[in-house]
Amino acid sequence: MAARVGAPYAVQGWSRVQPLVDSLRLLTEPDWLWYRLGNCAWRTVDVGETRIQGGLLLMRFANCSDRDGAAQYRGAELAIERAELPKLPEGDYYWSDLVGLRVIACSGVEFGNVARLLETGANDVLVVAPTPDSLDQRERLIPYVPERTILEVDIPAGFVRVDWDADY
């Protein structure tokens, strides 16, 4: 997810947008974005205009000309095409690359799969959801600290190896 749509702004169809990416260019340059509301399927939406005003990212979707039109997008998640993302250096990953990977302790115990990641300020955190093959049915929060708690990420093999005790 690249952004979340907030409340309408003014009366001409503009929406406040909360960016979840470092580069606003990723949201302001494309002519269209992916969006979804709740658990609905992803769909495309044409972007009419974007602007930054007073520290806010504002967006007007092509089919919005008034406040009611903008209100229909409130709470929507916005995403961009993967091809639009910058290439990362070796050893760096996008969060979406990690979601779904199995999480295995150095001892060989399987904790479950990465369900999502949380940004906490100090470090990111893996949210690990249990699976039928996991040690137990507990959800675990594991700090994403490379070379300390995160020992290995092998995307082709589908796992993250962690230095994490089952009792945590």
Sign of the C-alpha dihedral, residues 130, 135, 139, 144? negative
Residue 157 pLDDT exceeds 90:
yes
Domains and CATH numbers, the chain: 3-84 (2.40.30.60), 95-162 (2.30.30.240)
pLDDT tens digit sequence for 104-122: 999 999 999 999 998 888 8
**Residue reference for tokens 């961009």:** 80
Is the pLDDT assigned to residue 143 strictly greater than 90?
Answer: yes
CA distances from 20 to 4, 48, 84 (A): 8, 20, 15
* Beta strands at 102-105 and 159-162: parallel, antiparallel or unpaired: parallel
Cβ atoms of 142 and 152 closer than 8 Å: no
> Which among 108, 118, 107 has a CA at the least distance from the CA of 140?
118
Interatomic CA distance for residues 9 and 56, integer angstroms: 10
Close Cβ partners of 87 (under 8 Å, ≥ 6 residues apart):
none
Residue 32 exposure: Cα atoms within 13 Å on the Cβ side: 8
Q: How confident is the model at residue 158 (pLDDT cuts 50, 70, 90)?
A: very high
Span 15-31, pLDDT tens digits:
999 998 878 888 898 99
What is residue 151's predicted lDDT score, i.e. its pLDDT? 96
Of the listed ranges 7-16, 17-26, 151-160, the least confidently predicted one is 17-26
Q: What is the pLDDT of residue 165?
A: 94
